[in-house]
Amino acid sequence: MDVPVGVLLVQRGAATQALVDRAWREASGTGERLCTRLLKLGVDEAHLAAVLAEQHRGPGVDLSRCIVDLALLELVPRAVAEQDLILPLSDEGGRLHLAMVKPDDQRLISEVRFVTGREVSAYVAVDGALAQAIGEAYGARERGEEVWRGHAAGAGLPPLLAAVLPGGEVEVEISEDVILEAESTPLGAEEATLPAGDEPPPTAAPAGSPQVPIQVRPAGRRTVLVVDDEPEIRLLLQRSLEKHGYAVETASDGAEAIAKAEALVPDLVLLDAMLPKVHGFEACQRMKASPRSRHVPVIMMTAIYRGWRFAQDARDTYGAEDYIEKPFRFEDVLRRIDAVLEATASRSRGDGAAAATEVARGKELLLANRLPEARAAFEAAIAADAYSAEAHAQLARTLRAGGEAFSAMTAFEKAAELRPGHLPSLRALAALYEEKGFRRKAAETLERALGAAADDATRAVIKQDLLALLG
Protein backbone atom coordinates (compact mmCIF):
# COMPACT_ATOMS: atom_id res chain seq x y z
CA MET A 1 0.00 0.00 0.00
CA ASP A 2 1.95 2.98 -1.30
CA VAL A 3 -0.30 6.04 -1.83
CA PRO A 4 -2.69 7.00 1.01
CA VAL A 5 -6.43 6.76 0.36
CA GLY A 6 -6.96 10.49 0.81
CA VAL A 7 -4.26 11.38 -1.69
CA LEU A 8 -5.69 8.99 -4.29
CA LEU A 9 -9.20 10.38 -3.85
CA VAL A 10 -8.02 13.96 -4.30
CA GLN A 11 -5.90 13.00 -7.32
CA ARG A 12 -8.91 11.32 -8.92
CA GLY A 13 -11.25 14.21 -8.19
CA ALA A 14 -13.47 12.04 -6.00
CA ALA A 15 -12.97 14.30 -2.96
CA THR A 16 -11.51 17.70 -2.16
CA GLN A 17 -8.54 18.13 0.12
CA ALA A 18 -10.77 20.03 2.55
CA LEU A 19 -13.16 17.09 2.74
CA VAL A 20 -10.32 14.62 3.31
CA ASP A 21 -8.87 16.81 6.07
CA ARG A 22 -12.27 17.02 7.74
CA ALA A 23 -12.70 13.26 7.51
CA TRP A 24 -9.29 12.70 9.12
CA ARG A 25 -10.20 14.96 12.03
CA GLU A 26 -13.57 13.33 12.59
CA ALA A 27 -12.24 9.78 12.15
CA SER A 28 -9.51 10.44 14.71
CA GLY A 29 -12.15 11.41 17.24
CA THR A 30 -14.44 8.43 16.61
CA GLY A 31 -11.89 5.67 15.95
CA GLU A 32 -13.36 5.08 12.47
CA ARG A 33 -11.31 4.36 9.39
CA LEU A 34 -10.94 7.18 6.90
CA CYS A 35 -12.98 5.48 4.18
CA THR A 36 -15.92 4.89 6.50
CA ARG A 37 -15.95 8.54 7.56
CA LEU A 38 -15.68 9.68 3.93
CA LEU A 39 -18.57 7.40 3.02
CA LYS A 40 -20.69 9.06 5.72
CA LEU A 41 -19.65 12.45 4.35
CA GLY A 42 -21.07 11.55 0.97
CA VAL A 43 -18.20 10.18 -1.14
CA ASP A 44 -19.54 7.54 -3.54
CA GLU A 45 -18.71 4.03 -2.33
CA ALA A 46 -17.51 3.02 -5.81
CA HIS A 47 -14.73 5.64 -5.64
CA LEU A 48 -13.69 4.41 -2.20
CA ALA A 49 -13.70 0.78 -3.32
CA ALA A 50 -11.62 1.74 -6.35
CA VAL A 51 -8.82 3.32 -4.31
CA LEU A 52 -8.84 0.41 -1.85
CA ALA A 53 -8.59 -1.96 -4.81
CA GLU A 54 -5.61 0.01 -6.08
CA GLN A 55 -3.93 -0.14 -2.67
CA HIS A 56 -4.46 -3.89 -2.33
CA ARG A 57 -3.66 -4.54 -6.01
CA GLY A 58 -6.78 -6.64 -6.42
CA PRO A 59 -10.52 -6.31 -6.97
CA GLY A 60 -12.77 -4.31 -4.71
CA VAL A 61 -16.54 -4.32 -4.34
CA ASP A 62 -19.12 -1.56 -4.23
CA LEU A 63 -21.66 -3.07 -1.83
CA SER A 64 -24.18 -0.32 -2.49
CA ARG A 65 -24.67 -1.73 -6.00
CA CYS A 66 -24.67 -5.44 -5.07
CA ILE A 67 -27.60 -7.83 -4.83
CA VAL A 68 -26.89 -10.97 -2.78
CA ASP A 69 -28.70 -14.30 -2.83
CA LEU A 70 -29.23 -14.83 0.90
CA ALA A 71 -29.01 -18.62 0.55
CA LEU A 72 -25.24 -18.07 0.39
CA LEU A 73 -25.24 -16.88 3.99
CA GLU A 74 -25.71 -20.48 5.10
CA LEU A 75 -22.02 -20.99 4.25
CA VAL A 76 -20.82 -18.46 6.85
CA PRO A 77 -22.45 -18.19 10.31
CA ARG A 78 -23.50 -14.68 11.29
CA ALA A 79 -21.17 -14.59 14.29
CA VAL A 80 -18.18 -15.39 12.06
CA ALA A 81 -19.23 -12.81 9.46
CA GLU A 82 -19.57 -10.10 12.11
CA GLN A 83 -16.36 -11.00 13.92
CA ASP A 84 -14.16 -11.28 10.82
CA LEU A 85 -16.06 -8.75 8.67
CA ILE A 86 -16.72 -11.04 5.72
CA LEU A 87 -19.82 -11.38 3.53
CA PRO A 88 -20.51 -14.00 0.83
CA LEU A 89 -21.52 -12.20 -2.38
CA SER A 90 -21.73 -14.88 -5.09
CA ASP A 91 -20.87 -18.48 -5.89
CA GLU A 92 -20.37 -17.89 -9.61
CA GLY A 93 -18.10 -20.47 -11.21
CA GLY A 94 -18.19 -22.71 -8.13
CA ARG A 95 -16.04 -20.23 -6.17
CA LEU A 96 -17.10 -18.22 -3.13
CA HIS A 97 -16.77 -14.49 -3.85
CA LEU A 98 -16.23 -12.82 -0.51
CA ALA A 99 -16.28 -9.17 0.59
CA MET A 100 -13.51 -8.55 3.13
CA VAL A 101 -11.82 -5.65 4.87
CA LYS A 102 -8.48 -7.51 4.72
CA PRO A 103 -8.38 -9.45 1.43
CA ASP A 104 -4.72 -10.31 2.05
CA ASP A 105 -5.54 -12.30 5.22
CA GLN A 106 -4.54 -15.76 3.98
CA ARG A 107 -5.27 -17.33 7.37
CA LEU A 108 -8.88 -16.24 7.19
CA ILE A 109 -9.21 -17.20 3.52
CA SER A 110 -7.80 -20.65 4.29
CA GLU A 111 -10.30 -21.13 7.10
CA VAL A 112 -13.22 -20.12 4.87
CA ARG A 113 -11.95 -22.41 2.12
CA PHE A 114 -11.84 -25.43 4.41
CA VAL A 115 -15.11 -24.72 6.15
CA THR A 116 -17.07 -24.14 2.93
CA GLY A 117 -15.19 -26.50 0.61
CA ARG A 118 -15.01 -23.66 -1.97
CA GLU A 119 -12.14 -21.79 -3.50
CA VAL A 120 -12.31 -18.14 -2.43
CA SER A 121 -12.07 -14.93 -4.45
CA ALA A 122 -11.58 -11.96 -2.10
CA TYR A 123 -12.84 -8.41 -2.77
CA VAL A 124 -11.81 -5.50 -0.58
CA ALA A 125 -14.72 -3.49 0.80
CA VAL A 126 -15.13 -0.29 2.82
CA ASP A 127 -15.29 -1.48 6.41
CA GLY A 128 -18.26 0.65 7.48
CA ALA A 129 -20.25 -0.34 4.40
CA LEU A 130 -19.39 -3.99 4.96
CA ALA A 131 -20.40 -3.98 8.62
CA GLN A 132 -23.73 -2.39 7.69
CA ALA A 133 -24.27 -4.83 4.80
CA ILE A 134 -23.59 -7.82 7.07
CA GLY A 135 -26.15 -6.64 9.59
CA GLU A 136 -28.75 -5.91 6.93
CA ALA A 137 -28.18 -9.13 4.94
CA TYR A 138 -28.28 -11.52 7.90
CA GLY A 139 -31.24 -9.64 9.33
CA ALA A 140 -33.08 -9.98 6.02
CA ARG A 141 -32.33 -13.71 5.95
CA GLU A 142 -33.68 -14.14 9.48
CA ARG A 143 -36.88 -12.44 8.33
CA GLY A 144 -37.24 -15.01 5.56
CA GLU A 145 -36.23 -12.73 2.68
CA GLU A 146 -34.45 -14.24 -0.33
CA VAL A 147 -32.16 -11.39 -1.45
CA TRP A 148 -30.39 -8.38 0.00
CA ARG A 149 -30.01 -5.25 -2.14
CA GLY A 150 -27.54 -2.45 -1.73
CA HIS A 151 -29.23 0.94 -1.61
CA ALA A 152 -28.01 1.85 -5.12
CA ALA A 153 -28.62 -1.54 -6.75
CA GLY A 154 -32.05 -0.76 -8.12
CA ALA A 155 -35.04 -3.05 -8.25
CA GLY A 156 -36.02 -6.01 -10.40
CA LEU A 157 -32.54 -7.38 -10.96
CA PRO A 158 -31.38 -10.88 -10.01
CA PRO A 159 -28.27 -11.24 -7.79
CA LEU A 160 -25.21 -9.40 -9.08
CA LEU A 161 -21.71 -8.55 -7.91
CA ALA A 162 -20.47 -5.00 -8.48
CA ALA A 163 -16.72 -5.56 -8.72
CA VAL A 164 -14.38 -2.58 -8.80
CA LEU A 165 -11.06 -3.12 -10.53
CA PRO A 166 -7.91 -1.17 -9.58
CA GLY A 167 -8.15 2.05 -11.54
CA GLY A 168 -11.66 3.02 -10.58
CA GLU A 169 -14.06 1.30 -12.98
CA VAL A 170 -16.98 -0.73 -11.67
CA GLU A 171 -17.68 -4.02 -13.41
CA VAL A 172 -20.87 -5.94 -12.75
CA GLU A 173 -20.38 -9.65 -13.35
CA ILE A 174 -23.91 -10.82 -13.92
CA SER A 175 -25.96 -13.49 -15.60
CA GLU A 176 -27.30 -13.38 -19.15
CA ASP A 177 -30.69 -12.15 -17.92
CA VAL A 178 -29.06 -9.13 -16.34
CA ILE A 179 -27.03 -8.46 -19.49
CA LEU A 180 -30.22 -8.49 -21.58
CA GLU A 181 -31.91 -6.15 -19.13
CA ALA A 182 -28.86 -3.89 -18.98
CA GLU A 183 -28.86 -3.57 -22.78
CA SER A 184 -32.09 -1.58 -22.51
CA THR A 185 -30.39 0.95 -20.21
CA PRO A 186 -27.82 3.41 -21.63
CA LEU A 187 -24.38 2.86 -20.13
CA GLY A 188 -22.22 5.70 -19.00
CA ALA A 189 -20.78 7.62 -16.12
CA GLU A 190 -22.90 7.88 -12.98
CA GLU A 191 -22.44 11.05 -11.00
CA ALA A 192 -23.10 10.70 -7.27
CA THR A 193 -25.87 12.83 -5.81
CA LEU A 194 -24.49 14.29 -2.61
CA PRO A 195 -26.10 16.24 0.20
CA ALA A 196 -25.40 19.94 0.44
CA GLY A 197 -23.09 21.03 3.21
CA ASP A 198 -20.38 23.47 4.14
CA GLU A 199 -17.80 21.50 2.11
CA PRO A 200 -17.60 21.53 -1.69
CA PRO A 201 -19.29 18.47 -3.27
CA PRO A 202 -16.93 15.46 -3.01
CA THR A 203 -17.17 14.76 -6.74
CA ALA A 204 -16.14 18.29 -7.69
CA ALA A 205 -12.56 17.92 -8.82
CA PRO A 206 -9.88 20.49 -8.19
CA ALA A 207 -8.92 22.34 -11.36
CA GLY A 208 -6.92 20.18 -13.70
CA SER A 209 -7.46 16.91 -11.80
CA PRO A 210 -8.68 13.85 -13.71
CA GLN A 211 -12.24 12.60 -13.39
CA VAL A 212 -12.75 8.91 -12.74
CA PRO A 213 -15.81 7.52 -14.53
CA ILE A 214 -17.91 5.20 -12.42
CA GLN A 215 -19.78 2.77 -14.65
CA VAL A 216 -22.10 -0.10 -13.91
CA ARG A 217 -21.91 -2.51 -16.83
CA PRO A 218 -21.38 -6.16 -17.74
CA ALA A 219 -17.85 -7.48 -17.34
CA GLY A 220 -15.28 -6.55 -19.99
CA ARG A 221 -15.20 -8.65 -23.16
CA ARG A 222 -12.86 -11.60 -23.01
CA THR A 223 -11.50 -13.28 -26.12
CA VAL A 224 -12.19 -16.90 -27.00
CA LEU A 225 -10.30 -18.57 -29.85
CA VAL A 226 -12.67 -21.11 -31.47
CA VAL A 227 -10.87 -23.83 -33.44
CA ASP A 228 -12.84 -26.27 -35.59
CA ASP A 229 -12.48 -27.49 -39.17
CA GLU A 230 -16.25 -27.44 -39.70
CA PRO A 231 -17.36 -23.94 -40.78
CA GLU A 232 -20.90 -24.46 -39.45
CA ILE A 233 -19.67 -25.22 -35.93
CA ARG A 234 -17.25 -22.28 -35.98
CA LEU A 235 -20.02 -19.92 -37.05
CA LEU A 236 -22.50 -21.29 -34.51
CA LEU A 237 -20.05 -20.93 -31.64
CA GLN A 238 -18.87 -17.53 -32.80
CA ARG A 239 -22.37 -16.04 -33.04
CA SER A 240 -23.51 -17.59 -29.77
CA LEU A 241 -20.44 -16.50 -27.80
CA GLU A 242 -20.55 -12.98 -29.23
CA LYS A 243 -24.21 -12.75 -28.23
CA HIS A 244 -23.12 -13.57 -24.67
CA GLY A 245 -20.50 -10.83 -24.57
CA TYR A 246 -17.32 -12.59 -25.70
CA ALA A 247 -14.97 -11.41 -28.42
CA VAL A 248 -14.30 -14.35 -30.75
CA GLU A 249 -11.43 -15.29 -33.07
CA THR A 250 -11.55 -18.44 -35.18
CA ALA A 251 -9.13 -20.94 -36.75
CA SER A 252 -9.84 -23.88 -39.06
CA ASP A 253 -6.80 -26.11 -38.43
CA GLY A 254 -4.22 -26.93 -35.78
CA ALA A 255 -1.39 -24.90 -37.33
CA GLU A 256 -3.54 -21.77 -37.54
CA ALA A 257 -4.69 -22.35 -33.96
CA ILE A 258 -1.12 -22.46 -32.65
CA ALA A 259 -0.19 -19.32 -34.58
CA LYS A 260 -3.23 -17.37 -33.39
CA ALA A 261 -2.82 -18.48 -29.78
CA GLU A 262 0.79 -17.26 -29.91
CA ALA A 263 -0.09 -13.96 -31.58
CA LEU A 264 -3.35 -13.09 -29.79
CA VAL A 265 -2.87 -14.74 -26.37
CA PRO A 266 -6.65 -15.16 -25.95
CA ASP A 267 -8.41 -15.65 -22.63
CA LEU A 268 -9.46 -19.19 -23.61
CA VAL A 269 -9.14 -21.64 -26.52
CA LEU A 270 -12.06 -23.87 -27.53
CA LEU A 271 -10.19 -26.55 -29.47
CA ASP A 272 -11.51 -29.44 -31.58
CA ALA A 273 -9.51 -32.65 -31.25
CA MET A 274 -9.74 -33.78 -34.91
CA LEU A 275 -8.02 -31.08 -36.96
CA PRO A 276 -6.08 -31.00 -40.23
CA LYS A 277 -2.37 -30.07 -40.43
CA VAL A 278 -1.77 -30.41 -36.66
CA HIS A 279 -3.90 -32.74 -34.51
CA GLY A 280 -5.87 -31.01 -31.76
CA PHE A 281 -4.09 -32.84 -28.92
CA GLU A 282 -0.70 -31.90 -30.36
CA ALA A 283 -1.84 -28.31 -30.88
CA CYS A 284 -2.87 -28.16 -27.22
CA GLN A 285 0.48 -29.58 -26.15
CA ARG A 286 2.36 -27.01 -28.23
CA MET A 287 0.33 -24.14 -26.79
CA LYS A 288 1.11 -25.37 -23.28
CA ALA A 289 4.81 -25.65 -24.16
CA SER A 290 5.01 -22.03 -25.33
CA PRO A 291 6.03 -19.45 -22.70
CA ARG A 292 3.66 -16.97 -24.35
CA SER A 293 0.48 -19.06 -24.45
CA ARG A 294 0.95 -21.77 -21.82
CA HIS A 295 -1.16 -19.94 -19.23
CA VAL A 296 -4.16 -19.82 -21.63
CA PRO A 297 -6.83 -22.37 -20.60
CA VAL A 298 -7.89 -24.86 -23.29
CA ILE A 299 -11.20 -26.72 -23.54
CA MET A 300 -11.06 -29.69 -25.93
CA MET A 301 -14.05 -30.72 -28.06
CA THR A 302 -14.45 -34.09 -29.77
CA ALA A 303 -16.94 -36.37 -31.48
CA ILE A 304 -14.46 -39.26 -31.74
CA TYR A 305 -12.48 -39.62 -28.51
CA ARG A 306 -15.16 -40.42 -25.95
CA GLY A 307 -15.11 -41.52 -22.34
CA TRP A 308 -13.44 -40.49 -19.13
CA ARG A 309 -10.06 -41.99 -20.04
CA PHE A 310 -9.65 -39.67 -23.03
CA ALA A 311 -10.87 -36.77 -20.92
CA GLN A 312 -8.36 -37.53 -18.18
CA ASP A 313 -5.52 -37.89 -20.69
CA ALA A 314 -6.48 -34.57 -22.25
CA ARG A 315 -6.11 -32.97 -18.83
CA ASP A 316 -3.09 -34.80 -17.45
CA THR A 317 -0.98 -35.33 -20.58
CA TYR A 318 -1.92 -32.39 -22.79
CA GLY A 319 -2.88 -29.75 -20.23
CA ALA A 320 -6.52 -29.14 -21.23
CA GLU A 321 -8.74 -27.70 -18.51
CA ASP A 322 -11.94 -29.39 -19.68
CA TYR A 323 -13.21 -31.86 -22.27
CA ILE A 324 -16.55 -31.61 -24.11
CA GLU A 325 -18.06 -34.38 -26.23
CA LYS A 326 -19.99 -33.59 -29.41
CA PRO A 327 -22.83 -33.14 -30.07
CA PHE A 328 -23.13 -30.56 -27.32
CA ARG A 329 -25.69 -28.07 -26.04
CA PHE A 330 -24.45 -24.51 -26.25
CA GLU A 331 -25.72 -23.79 -22.74
CA ASP A 332 -23.35 -26.46 -21.43
CA VAL A 333 -20.44 -25.07 -23.47
CA LEU A 334 -21.10 -21.58 -22.12
CA ARG A 335 -21.35 -22.81 -18.54
CA ARG A 336 -18.05 -24.66 -18.82
CA ILE A 337 -16.28 -21.75 -20.48
CA ASP A 338 -17.41 -19.48 -17.65
CA ALA A 339 -16.32 -22.03 -15.03
CA VAL A 340 -12.86 -22.52 -16.58
CA LEU A 341 -12.27 -18.77 -16.92
CA GLU A 342 -13.27 -18.27 -13.29
CA ALA A 343 -11.09 -21.14 -12.06
CA THR A 344 -8.02 -19.91 -13.97
CA ALA A 345 -8.53 -16.18 -13.48
CA SER A 346 -5.51 -15.83 -11.18
CA ARG A 347 -3.03 -17.15 -13.73
CA SER A 348 -0.43 -14.77 -15.04
CA ARG A 349 2.01 -14.78 -17.89
CA GLY A 350 4.78 -16.25 -15.82
CA ASP A 351 8.52 -16.34 -16.26
CA GLY A 352 9.21 -20.08 -16.26
CA ALA A 353 13.00 -19.78 -16.34
CA ALA A 354 13.11 -17.45 -13.32
CA ALA A 355 10.68 -19.69 -11.45
CA ALA A 356 12.77 -22.80 -12.15
CA THR A 357 15.87 -21.06 -10.83
CA GLU A 358 14.10 -20.08 -7.61
CA VAL A 359 12.62 -23.57 -7.19
CA ALA A 360 16.08 -25.14 -7.51
CA ARG A 361 17.50 -22.67 -4.97
CA GLY A 362 14.58 -23.27 -2.62
CA LYS A 363 15.07 -27.04 -2.71
CA GLU A 364 18.67 -26.65 -1.62
CA LEU A 365 17.64 -24.37 1.23
CA LEU A 366 14.90 -26.80 2.27
CA LEU A 367 17.37 -29.67 2.38
CA ALA A 368 19.56 -27.53 4.60
CA ASN A 369 16.53 -26.90 6.86
CA ARG A 370 16.75 -23.15 6.25
CA LEU A 371 12.98 -22.84 6.19
CA PRO A 372 12.45 -19.04 6.07
CA GLU A 373 14.88 -18.68 3.18
CA ALA A 374 13.39 -21.69 1.36
CA ARG A 375 9.92 -20.24 1.76
CA ALA A 376 11.09 -16.91 0.33
CA ALA A 377 12.62 -18.69 -2.67
CA PHE A 378 9.46 -20.66 -3.44
CA GLU A 379 7.31 -17.55 -3.03
CA ALA A 380 9.63 -15.77 -5.46
CA ALA A 381 9.16 -18.68 -7.88
CA ILE A 382 5.37 -18.32 -7.61
CA ALA A 383 5.65 -14.57 -8.14
CA ALA A 384 7.58 -15.30 -11.34
CA ASP A 385 5.24 -18.06 -12.52
CA ALA A 386 1.96 -18.25 -10.60
CA TYR A 387 0.90 -21.53 -12.20
CA SER A 388 4.07 -23.52 -11.53
CA ALA A 389 2.76 -26.66 -9.81
CA GLU A 390 6.25 -27.54 -8.61
CA ALA A 391 6.72 -24.17 -6.90
CA HIS A 392 3.41 -24.51 -5.04
CA ALA A 393 4.19 -28.10 -4.05
CA GLN A 394 7.62 -27.19 -2.68
CA LEU A 395 6.18 -24.21 -0.82
CA ALA A 396 3.67 -26.60 0.73
CA ARG A 397 6.46 -28.92 1.89
CA THR A 398 8.24 -25.95 3.46
CA LEU A 399 5.11 -24.72 5.21
CA ARG A 400 4.40 -28.19 6.54
CA ALA A 401 7.94 -28.48 7.86
CA GLY A 402 7.42 -25.16 9.63
CA GLY A 403 4.23 -26.34 11.31
CA GLU A 404 1.83 -24.30 9.13
CA ALA A 405 -0.46 -27.19 8.28
CA PHE A 406 -3.45 -25.27 6.95
CA SER A 407 -1.35 -23.03 4.73
CA ALA A 408 0.44 -26.16 3.49
CA MET A 409 -2.93 -27.72 2.60
CA THR A 410 -3.79 -24.67 0.53
CA ALA A 411 -0.47 -24.81 -1.32
CA PHE A 412 -0.77 -28.56 -1.99
CA GLU A 413 -4.33 -28.04 -3.27
CA LYS A 414 -3.06 -25.34 -5.61
CA ALA A 415 -0.34 -27.65 -6.94
CA ALA A 416 -2.91 -30.39 -7.52
CA GLU A 417 -5.26 -27.92 -9.20
CA LEU A 418 -2.53 -26.79 -11.59
CA ARG A 419 -1.38 -30.35 -12.28
CA PRO A 420 -4.20 -32.80 -11.44
CA GLY A 421 -1.86 -35.78 -11.79
CA HIS A 422 0.77 -34.40 -9.38
CA LEU A 423 0.94 -37.55 -7.26
CA PRO A 424 3.39 -36.33 -4.56
CA SER A 425 1.14 -33.35 -3.81
CA LEU A 426 -1.98 -35.50 -3.61
CA ARG A 427 -0.43 -38.05 -1.25
CA ALA A 428 1.10 -35.39 0.97
CA LEU A 429 -2.21 -33.54 1.02
CA ALA A 430 -4.09 -36.71 1.99
CA ALA A 431 -1.66 -37.28 4.86
CA LEU A 432 -2.15 -33.71 6.09
CA TYR A 433 -5.93 -33.98 5.95
CA GLU A 434 -5.81 -37.19 7.95
CA GLU A 435 -3.37 -35.70 10.46
CA LYS A 436 -5.74 -32.77 11.11
CA GLY A 437 -8.84 -34.93 11.39
CA PHE A 438 -10.36 -34.33 7.94
CA ARG A 439 -10.80 -38.02 7.22
CA ARG A 440 -13.36 -37.62 4.45
CA LYS A 441 -11.17 -35.09 2.66
CA ALA A 442 -8.22 -37.45 3.10
CA ALA A 443 -10.17 -40.31 1.51
CA GLU A 444 -11.32 -38.11 -1.35
CA THR A 445 -7.73 -37.00 -2.00
CA LEU A 446 -6.45 -40.59 -1.96
CA GLU A 447 -9.07 -41.45 -4.55
CA ARG A 448 -7.72 -38.63 -6.71
CA ALA A 449 -4.20 -39.98 -6.15
CA LEU A 450 -5.36 -43.44 -7.17
CA GLY A 451 -6.47 -42.09 -10.52
CA ALA A 452 -3.13 -40.34 -10.99
CA ALA A 453 -0.97 -43.38 -10.17
CA ALA A 454 1.13 -44.47 -13.15
CA ASP A 455 1.71 -48.15 -12.26
CA ASP A 456 0.11 -51.09 -10.45
CA ALA A 457 2.59 -51.06 -7.58
CA THR A 458 1.82 -47.43 -6.72
CA ARG A 459 -1.90 -48.02 -7.03
CA ALA A 460 -1.64 -50.99 -4.67
CA VAL A 461 0.08 -48.88 -2.00
CA ILE A 462 -2.52 -46.11 -2.32
CA LYS A 463 -5.34 -48.65 -2.09
CA GLN A 464 -3.86 -49.97 1.14
CA ASP A 465 -3.71 -46.43 2.56
CA LEU A 466 -7.31 -45.82 1.50
CA LEU A 467 -8.57 -49.07 3.03
CA ALA A 468 -6.73 -48.33 6.25
CA LEU A 469 -8.31 -44.87 6.37
CA LEU A 470 -11.81 -46.19 5.72
CA GLY A 471 -11.44 -49.23 7.99
The verdict on 176 and 231 lying in the same domain is no
> Is the pLDDT higher at 18 or at 111?
18
pLDDT exceeds 60 at position 390: yes
Structural domain total, the chain: 2
> Is the pLDDT higher at 272 or at 201?
272
3-state SS, one letter per residue, for the chain: CCCCHHHHHHHHCCCCHHHHHHHHHHHHHHCCCHHHHHHHCCCCHHHHHHHHHHHHCCCEECHHHCEEEHHHHHHCCHHHHHHHCEEEEECHHHCEEEEECCCCCHHHHHHHHHHHCCCEEEEECCHHHHHHHHHHHHHHHHCCCCEEECCCCCCCCCCEEEEEECCCEEEEECCHHHHHHHCCCCCCCCCCCCCCCCCCCCCCCCCCCCCCCCCCCECCCCEEEEECCCHHHHHHHHHHHHHCCCEEEEECCHHHHHHHHHHHCCCEEEEECCCCCCCHHHHHHHHHHCCCCCCCCEEEEECCCCCHHHHHHHHHCCCCCEEEECCCCHHHHHHHHHHHHHHCCCCCCCCHHHHHHHHHHHHHHHHCCCHHHHHHHHHHHHHHCCCCHHHHHHHHHHHHHCCCHHHHHHHHHHHHHHCCCCHHHHHHHHHHHHHCCCHHHHHHHHHHHHHHCCCHHHHHHHHHHHHHHHC
The verdict on 227 and 177 lying in the same domain is no
Distances (CA, A) of 416 to 19, 65, 75, 411, 423: 50, 36, 24, 9, 8
Expressed as residue numbers, the domain containing 84 is 58-182
The verdict on 163 and 275 lying in the same domain is no
> Is the pLDDT higher at 306 or at 38?
38
Write the pLDDT tens digit of every residue in 255-279.
999 988 887 888 899 999 888 888 8
pLDDT exceeds 80 at position 443: yes
For residue 112, tell me if it sits in a domain: yes
The verdict on 159 and 248 lying in the same domain is no
For residue 395, tell me if it sits in a domain: no
Domain finish residue from 343, 360, 378: 343
Q: What is the pLDDT of residue 405?
A: 85
For residue 353, tell me if it sits in a domain: no
Question: How many Å is the Cα radius of gyration of the chain?
Answer: 24
Q: What is the pLDDT of residue 268?
A: 93
pLDDT exceeds 70 at position 251: yes
The verdict on 87 and 171 lying in the same domain is yes
The verdict on 173 and 230 lying in the same domain is no
The verdict on 157 and 248 lying in the same domain is no
pLDDT exceeds 70 at position 157: no
Q: What is the pLDDT of residue 166?
A: 56
The four Cα atoms 121, 127, 132, 133 give a dihedral, to 10 degrees, of -10
Query: What is the pLDDT confidence band of residue 317, given thresholds at 50, 70 and 90?
Result: low
For residue 456, tell me if it sits in a domain: no
The verdict on 160 and 263 lying in the same domain is no
- Name the most confidently modeled range: 25-34, 43-52, 132-141, 151-160: 132-141
The verdict on 237 and 169 lying in the same domain is no
Q: What is the pLDDT of residue 221?
A: 66
For residue 102, tell me if it sits in a domain: yes
- pTM check: above 0.85: no
- Name the most confidently modeled range: 131-145, 292-306, 350-364, 430-444: 131-145
Domain finish residue from 311, 328, 343: 343
The verdict on 228 and 117 lying in the same domain is no
The verdict on 64 and 154 lying in the same domain is yes
For residue 231, tell me if it sits in a domain: yes
Q: What is the pLDDT of residue 224?
A: 92
The verdict on 235 and 142 lying in the same domain is no
Distances (CA, A) of 451 to 88, 285, 433, 456: 33, 21, 18, 11
CATH number at residue 321: 3.40.50.2300
Decide: 452 and 315 in contact? Cβ < 8 Å: no
Write the pLDDT tens digit of every residue in 210-235.
333 333 333 346 889 999 988 888 88
CATH number at residue 84: 3.30.300.160
What's the mean pLDDT in 336-343? 84
Q: What is the pLDDT of residue 201?
A: 35
Write the pLDDT tens digit of every residue in 11-47.
877 788 888 889 888 888 777 888 888 989 888 888 8
Count of other CB atoms within 10 angstroms of residue 449: 26
Domain finish residue from 343, 361, 377: 343
For residue 167, tell me if it sits in a domain: yes
What's the mean pLDDT in 390-414? 89
